[in-house]
A and B are shown apart, each in its own frame.
Chain A
Amino acid sequence: MKRLLGAVAAAMLAFAPAAQATLPLEAWELYRQKFVMPDGRVVDDLNGAISHSESQGYGLLLACLAGDRTSFARILAFTRTELLIRDDGLAAWRWDPKATPRVTDINNATDGDLLIAYALNCAGSAWAMPGYTNAARQLARNIAKATFLKRGSETWLMPAVTGFSEKDRADGPVINPSYWVFEALPVMARLTGDNGWLKVQATGLKLLDTLAKANMPAPEWMSVKAEPRPADGFPAQFGYNAMRVPLYLLRAGLGEPGRLAPFRAAWANGPAIVDVRSKQAVEQLSDPGYRILVAALACAADGTAIPQELKSFVPTAYYPSTLHLLTLAMLSERYQRCM
């Protein structure tokens, strides 16, 4: 554990938050025009045009990465007024324009909260706005208070305040590996002075390394009641949620070859939803937002150049388009040689 924490600290030092825009403005403009409404709502178009704390968090982060202070203010205004209304200071996760009231599930989604806090910190540093930084710090404290599950030397990040704990489910606690936004964890640790965040980081990395030893790509939901295993009632798949795991590892500079190996193996024939036990593809994916993830893994491993058609961004649907931009920003920052 000590060794691991040391590695994390080193990685943290190595990756200072972007002070300069790393996302090409024209790509962000295309994204903004398609998914960001004038009132600051970021729309998940394929998901019934709802919004959620995750889409708002990604919108904020991308706006910060693109240096778009105006859009950031717009998206934050919506996020704060419509979602940041919980008693515990976290964001309600689901907002449906067709429902009254709009918030249709007051539960939080911890990755959404974490993305919002991380983006606020990004904006606070990028534009010297202490208000944003303070808000990021407060939100980070609220997340730690409400969602950290300390157990022995481990600290798990619970996916939500309700619904996944030991008392909520027979196989609880249940976690979601893709909620570890690795790049944000050391930032939150430094922001709050709470090294619980580093323990969260270490716990997540240890889990991924255990999975890698078993040559298993991360499933969407895992029971950590005993030895980690795919949670009951969810498909044991390396699916839409989990495909962010290798991206987050790469963005955080934690993409060691061994850790990424199961993901590369699962995607040997291109991006797909993969059964984590049989390793069989359940569904092949073709959106450039997914294909660039595979290309980024190849770049990180072998220096393989990113195909031209993936370098230019054309918005498709909210989720793959988001992954596309996050990957492009990561590549331009860390892997210029593949571009």
Chain B
Amino acid sequence: MHVKSILLAAVASGAIFYGLGRFGQGGELPPAPKPGTPSAFTLDQPMAERAEIKPELAQAPPPANLPAGQRQAQPAPPVDESALRYFASQGDTRRFEAELARLRALYPQWKPPTDLNTPIPAGDPELERMWKLFAEGKLSEVRAAIAGRSTKETGWSPPADLVQQLDQAEAAQRLVNASNARQWEQVIRIGTETPALLTCANVDALWRVAEAFVQTERRDRARDAYSYILANCEKAEERLGTMQKALSTLQDEQVNALMALERQNEFASIRDELARRRIGRAAEDPKLTVSADDLRRLEVLANAATTPDDPILLGFYALHHGEPAKASDWFRMALTRNGGAKAAEGAVLAFAANGKYQEAEALGSQWLEAGPANRKAYLDALTALLTQEPPPRLEAVVLERIVKTVSADRYALGAAALGWYAYNSGQTVPAEHWFETALAWDREHEPAAFGLALARQRLRDVAGLRAIIAEWRGRSQRIADILDPRRRHLSAREAPPRETGIRPATPEPVAVERMPRAQAPEASPRPPTAARRLTTEPAPVDTYLPAERPPALREAARPVRGGSCGSGSSGAAALARGWCLLNLKRPASAMQAFEAAMRTGDGQVVADAAAGKAYAALQQGLTNEATAAATSAALPPARRRELSALLLSERFYAQYDAKNFNAALLTLEERAKYAPETTDLMLMRGWSYFNARRYEDARRVFRALYKVNRSSQALSGLTAIDDATQRNRY
């Protein structure tokens, strides 16, 4: 059969012809067909280059075998209804309908006969057998029977209708086979050669042709095939199936154009899926937003279902569009629906974005092995957790698993975060070692170098500090500024960096012995003042647990990532704002917020706000204000003691930096009333004695320290005393 002749025949016979080229661009749709007479879907495309074996080859010799096109182009041919009658007589509804659709497509003027129950003229049992074989789908046997009879009976040729039916049935099978074998050009070729195949009677063939167009990057042609079905075919499940296929293969605007062919809201589920798709894309790309309608639609679906997928999508959408609290709720729902690693990843990210770092860490630690995304979310969360200031109170088991993961991944940011955690907890020796570890894993990690410099400054390791400054000269202004006398002591305690980054590609090997855990244990006992501290289990990580810790902050008060700190005039809101601002290093504003909270809040809020005010004052270097705030009657005694100890530490460092060593020593005495002295402070006490030339006192302190932890700092103190006293002899 030749396409061209078929197409000419179709036009000549008055069929409504939807040449694809006529509406190939721009999303127009074909005009609605006359009801009841859909023509076949035609593929108006040039024959593929490689022609091949044509159906006619297996038929009787010419002249009986006229090309199909010629046969059809003859004026008003009598329509061969024998197949129709045969299928009707057999009660073969499926084939009957297919034949009916085929005849209608070929002969739009034709009216189906009303006397279908009249059997086909008897008298040719052999032909009847052929039809029977055909009806049974035994196509090869029909071919054999035709060939056999043609051999026996000279001049006999098969009825045109049987030949056409057979060609078409074989083409249908070939089309399926070629499509299953992903031979897309062949699929299109078969469709082109057999347009009668592409009717509503065989929507599967239309689907396969459309898929072939998709696979050969001709989506507009696929859209046309789908629009043919939607414009012409009636079966609900085929119409919906068509839209589902369109949805999975076409672009949004093509799908939207097809949606215009919807009848009576039959594509509600497609609309759901479109919304889901848009939200899915926007969930990955914060620059994209979706309509409120879309969100509402998916929220309704998510709440009605019991599966985790939609909550996960909504969670990521909320997370990436500034609503971490909402995101947390969706991920929690997804987790209860067994949402697995993806839900856990989202939940960890959302908790962290809400400032609920401990929750994020706790959940993330259970999903570490689920995949790189889960691991990354966990590492980010623990970094954020550790670098809060003041540092949160963490149980030994938590610190242990953090250390384990950070070490296993040689995660420099995590090591630096452990450094800040130790540093901010007053544990300068472990801090130094963690910063060194971070630098060993990533030489270029400036924040770790900065932390290391601060730690060495606090340890009065001048040589070590100068080495860092020299190494980073020209690369980090803030490291260079550390020895600038114009800088106030407190300003050097600026926040550790929150940024997360890429793990070093080739970290240097680091001996486990360099970890702080290898350091000798802290001399000072844990303070017994706050009962909740007793929950800390003795464990190796104790060595870098802070002996003196600021109170844990209220989790809800954590700031949202990078955003504003909110508004609200209630005491609780002001308190939350205060903590948020404090974390953003805006202590003056924080102080105002805490003051507002103290004016309007209830007992607990006022107590927290008073503590916050003390921290805010400290952050500004306003030691007197801090002291005043710390002695506020609103504070419970235990917290007052903690704050006082912290303030006195700060005062000590200020006096020490001002070389007012005797005053500094008096401050240490005063501090000892509130809390036991940490090893760091003991070391500083030694240096204070040294600088006040009280060498024997200094020697006693350094010796005691050395006895406890064999620290090199204590040893260098002892050496310094020896040097100083020897020099005096000359």
Tell which of A138-146, A199-207, A327-335 binds the partner.
A138-146
Q: Are A77 and B140 also in contact (CB < 8 A) when A70-B147, A131-B56 are?
A: yes
Within 8 A of A (CB), among B128-146: 138-141, 143-146
Name the CB-closest residue of B to A85.
B178
* A82 on interface, CB distance cutoff 8 Å: yes
Q: Are A77 and B139 in contact (CB under 8 A)?
A: yes
Name the CB-closest residue of B to A105.
B181
Q: Are A135 and B144 also in contact (CB < 8 A) when A69-B151, A86-B183, A87-B185 are?
A: no
Q: Are B140 and A131 in contact (CB under 8 A)?
A: no
Q: Are A131 and B147 in contact (CB under 8 A)?
A: no
In the assembled complex, the CB of A69 is this many whole angstroms from the nearest CB of chain B, namely 5
Q: Are A85 and B144 also in contact (CB < 8 A) when A38-B138, A77-B170 are?
A: no
A142-B49 Cα distance, complex, nearest whole Å: 10
In the assembled complex, the CB of A148 is this many whole angstroms from the nearest CB of chain B, namely 15
Q: How many residues of A contact B (CB 8 A)?
A: 40
In the assembled complex, the CB of B696 is this many whole angstroms from the nearest CB of chain A, namely 84
Within 8 A of B (CB), among A14-62: 38-40
Q: Are B147 and A138 in contact (CB under 8 A)?
A: no
* A78 on interface, CB distance cutoff 8 Å: yes
Q: Are A86 and B186 in contact (CB under 8 A)?
A: yes
Select B52's contact among A38, A103, A128, A142, beta carbons within 8 Å: A142
Q: Are B147 and A72 in contact (CB under 8 A)?
A: yes
A residues within 8 A CB of B178? 85-86
A150-B354 Cα distance, complex, nearest whole Å: 70
Within 8 A of B (CB), among A102-133: 102-103, 106, 120, 127-132
A residues within 8 A CB of B181? 85-86, 92, 101, 103, 106
Q: Are A80 and B174 in contact (CB under 8 A)?
A: yes
A314-B174 Cα distance, complex, nearest whole Å: 35
B residues within 8 A CB of A295? none
Tell which of B59-67, B313-321, B383-391, B628-636 binds the partner.
B59-67
B residues within 8 A CB of A73? 58, 140, 143-144, 146-148
Q: Are B177 and A82 in contact (CB under 8 A)?
A: yes
* B659 on interface, CB distance cutoff 8 Å: no
Q: Are B174 and A138 in contact (CB under 8 A)?
A: no
Name the CB-closest residue of B to A84.
B53
In the assembled complex, the CB of A157 is this many whole angstroms from the nearest CB of chain B, namely 18
Q: Are B139 and A138 in contact (CB under 8 A)?
A: no
A85-B148 Cα distance, complex, nearest whole Å: 26
A81-B181 Cα distance, complex, nearest whole Å: 13
Name the CB-closest residue of A to B59.
A131
Interface SS majority for chain B:
helix
* A71 on interface, CB distance cutoff 8 Å: yes
In the assembled complex, the CB of B303 is this many whole angstroms from the nearest CB of chain A, namely 40
Query: What 1/0 flags go to B156-187 for Cβ under 8 Å of A?
Result: 00000000000000100110011011111110
Within 8 A of B (CB), among A131-166: 131-132, 134-135, 138-139, 142, 145
Select A89's contact among B50, B61, B150, beta carbons within 8 Å: B50
Name the CB-closest residue of B to A142.
B50
A275-B184 Cα distance, complex, nearest whole Å: 43
* B300 on interface, CB distance cutoff 8 Å: no
Select A135's contact among B54, B139, B150, B180, beta carbons within 8 Å: B54
* A279 on interface, CB distance cutoff 8 Å: no
* A287 on interface, CB distance cutoff 8 Å: no
Q: Are B148 and A76 in contact (CB under 8 A)?
A: no
A69-B180 Cα distance, complex, nearest whole Å: 31
Q: Are B186 and A85 in contact (CB under 8 A)?
A: yes
Q: Are A80 and B170 also in contact (CB < 8 A) when A106-B183, A129-B61, A138-B52 are?
A: yes
A130-B63 Cα distance, complex, nearest whole Å: 11
A91-B138 Cα distance, complex, nearest whole Å: 21
Q: Are B51 and A138 in contact (CB under 8 A)?
A: yes
* B57 on interface, CB distance cutoff 8 Å: yes
* A88 on interface, CB distance cutoff 8 Å: yes
Name the CB-closest residue of B to A124.
B57
B residues within 8 A CB of A69? 147-148, 150-151
Query: What 1/0 flags go to B28-69 for Cβ under 8 Å of A?
Result: 000000000000000000000011111011110110010000
Q: Which of A70, A120, A127, A142 counts the most chain B CB atoms within 10 A? A: A70
Q: List 13 A-B contacts (CB under 8 A).
A: A39-B140, A69-B147, A72-B147, A74-B143, A77-B143, A81-B139, A81-B140, A86-B186, A101-B177, A131-B56, A131-B57, A131-B58, A135-B52
Chain B residues close to A by CB (< 8 Å): 50-54, 56-59, 61-62, 65, 138-141, 143-148, 150-151, 170, 173-174, 177-178, 180-186
Chain A residues close to B by CB (< 8 Å): 38-40, 69-78, 80-82, 84-89, 92, 101-103, 106, 120, 127-132, 134-135, 138-139, 142, 145
4 additional A-B residue pairs with CB within 8 Å, beyond A73-B140, A86-B178: A73-B147, A74-B141, A85-B178, A142-B50
